[in-house]
A and B are shown apart, each in its own frame.
Chain A
Amino acid sequence: MDISIIQDSIPRLLHGAVITIELTTVSVAIGLCLAVPFAMMRTHRNPQLWMPVYGFNFYFRGTPLLVQIFLVYYGSGQFQELLTQTGLWIFFQEAWFCAVLTLTLNTAAYTSEILRGGIEAIPFGEIEAAKACGMSGSLLYRRIILPKAFRLAWPAYTNEVVFLLQATSLVSIITIMDITGVARMVASRSFAFYELYITAALFYLILVYGVLFVFRKIEYRILIGNR
C-alpha cells in the first residue's frame, strides 16, 4: 500500500471530480429540457407525435451507453467529409462534445419515460377539474400536469441522476480526464492499481450520496403540500 501516491494524486482526482460534476450537470440540465417536450409528445394521442419519441427512447434505452458513446465519437469519423463540409466536424472532433451529446440524449430518453409514468399516473379527475375551470393547452400543462408529474416522478428521477453521474465514468474511455480517467492514468504509470481505484470509488461514493442527500431535501420540499 502506497499512501504517498494516493496523497499526490488527490489534487488531480479533485480536478477530475470537477469534470465529472460538469459533465453530469450539463447533461442532466439539457437532458431535462429535452425530456419535458419528449414526455408530452410520448403521452399524446397522435401517433405522429408519440411514435418518433417511442423509437428514440427504445433505441437509447435498449443499447449500452458505451456503444452510443463509441457510435458518436468514433462513428462520426466515417462521415468526416460530410461533417467538415457542414462545419460540424470541429464539434465531433472534441471528445467533450461527443460525451455531452451522448449523455444528454441517453438521459433524455430515460427521463422522458420516467416523466411519462408521472403524467400517466395523474388522477383523471384533476385534469378534468382543470378543464372545467377553463384551462387548456399550455396553461393546463404548466399549472397542473407538469408540476404533478414531477412530484410523482421525483424519486425515480433521483435514481436516473445517480445513474447518469456513475455513467459519466465511461467518458474516460474516450480520453476525458474525469475521476476514472485520472485514476486510470495515474494507476497505469505508478502501478498503484488498487490504491487509485479505491480512492476513485470513494470519490464517487461521496458524490452519489451527496446527490441523494440534496435530492431528498428537494423531495421533502416539493411534497410539502401533498402530506
Chain B
Amino acid sequence: MFDIKGYGWLLWKGVQLTVLVGVFSMAIAILLGFVGAWGKLSGSRIARTAAGAYTTIIRGVPELVMILLVYYGVPTLIQDIFDVNIDFNPFAAGIATIGFIYGAFSTEVFRGSYLAVSKGQIEAAKASGMNRILLFRRILLPQMWRFALPGLGNVWMVLIKATALVSVIQLPELMRNADIASRSTRLPFTCYFAASLIYLLLTVVSMSIQQRAEAWANRGIRRA
C-alpha cells in the first residue's frame, strides 16, 4: 500500500527533524512555563501583569499567525527600527515560536501544580531555615513535577502536532517532506496518509512514555 517510490527515507528524515523541533520547543516551553508561573504567582504587580498579558495574547492568536509574524514579521520590524538586516533560520524561528506559544500553556500547568503543593510543607521548609533556592529545589520542584506531569504530557501531545505548521516556513520536517514527496510521486493521498500515520505513531509512543513517567513520578504515593 505504501509504495511511495523510494521517498520513504525522506519521510524518515522528516520525522527526525519533527522530533528534534518538538523536543527543543518543549524545553523552551517548560522554561517559559516556569518563568510565567513565577510571574503569575509573584507579589510584584508588573510581573503579574506581564505574565497575564503573555497568556492572554497567546490564547487569542492562532499558531500559524504567530509563526508567520515571527519568521517574516520580526526581521522586517528589526530592519525598520534598527536598520540592520537579519534573516532568521527556519529552525530557530520555528522552535522559538512554538516554544513561546506552548510556554503559555505550561505556565498554567505549573501555576496549578504549584498551588497543589500544600502550604504547610512550604511553611515547614521555611521554618527549618531553608532559603528560597533550597526550598524550590528540595520541596517544590520534586512535588510540582508530579502534579505537572499529566498537564505537561497534554501540552507535548498538542505541541508535536503543532510542529507540522513549521512546514509553512520551509523547514524540511515531516509535513514539508510529505509535501515534497507527494509532488514528485504524484501520489498525494498515499504520502499524506503515511505522514498522518507517523504522527499517530508519535502520539501513541508519547502516550505510553507519559504513562510510565507518571507511574515513576507517583512511586511511593499511597492510593486509596
Residues of A bordering B, CB below 8 Å? 1, 58-59, 62-68, 70-71, 74-79, 162, 166-167, 169-170, 172-173, 180, 183-184, 187, 191-194, 197-198, 200-201, 204-205, 208-209
Number of A-B contacts (CB under 8 A): 124
Q: Is B210 an interface residue (CB 8 A)?
A: no
Pick from A58, A172, A194: contact of B73, CB under 8 Å: A194
Residues from chain A with a CB closer than 8 A to the CB of B59 are 162, 208
- Determine if A62 and B203 form an interchain contact, defined as CB atoms under 8 angstroms apart: yes
Q: Is B43 an interface residue (CB 8 A)?
A: no
CB distance from B178 to the nearest CB of A (A): 8
**Most chain B CB neighbours (cut-off 10 Å) among A59, A169, A183:** A169
CB distance from B75 to the nearest CB of A (A): 8
- Determine if A194 and B76 form an interchain contact, defined as CB atoms under 8 angstroms apart: yes
- Determine if A180 and B73 form an interchain contact, defined as CB atoms under 8 angstroms apart: no
Bitwise interface map of B from 43 to 84 toward A, beta carbon under 8 Å scored 1, else 0: 000000000000001011111111011001111110010000
- Determine if A66 and B62 form an interchain contact, defined as CB atoms under 8 angstroms apart: no
Residues from chain A with a CB closer than 8 A to the CB of B66 are 201
Q: Closest A residue to B165 by CB, please name it.
A: A66
Pick from B60, B164, B179, B193: contact of A209, CB under 8 Å: B60
Residues from chain A with a CB closer than 8 A to the CB of B218 are none
- Determine if A166 and B62 form an interchain contact, defined as CB atoms under 8 angstroms apart: yes
- Determine if A63 and B161 form an interchain contact, defined as CB atoms under 8 angstroms apart: yes
Within 8 A of A (CB), among B179-197: 179, 182, 186-190, 192-193, 195-196
Pick from B69, B165, B188: contact of A78, CB under 8 Å: B188
Task: Provide a sorted-by-A list of 13 A–B residue pairs whose CB atoms are within 8 angstroms.
Answer: A58-B200, A63-B161, A63-B200, A64-B175, A70-B182, A70-B192, A71-B192, A78-B186, A162-B59, A169-B64, A187-B72, A201-B69, A205-B61
Q: Assuming the A-B contacts A180-B64, A201-B65, are A70 and B161 also in contact, with contact meaning beta carbons closer than 8 angstroms in the complex?
A: no
Kindly state the separation between the CA atoms of A192 and B69 in the bound complex, as whole angstroms: 11
Within 8 A of A (CB), among B115-171: 161-165, 167-168
- Determine if B60 and A74 form an interchain contact, defined as CB atoms under 8 angstroms apart: no
**Most chain A CB neighbours (cut-off 10 Å) among B61, B161, B200:** B61
Kindly state the separation between the CA atoms of A58 and B204 in the bound complex, as whole angstroms: 10
Pick from A63, A74, A200: contact of B65, CB under 8 Å: A200
Q: Closest B residue to A73 by CB, please name it.
A: B188
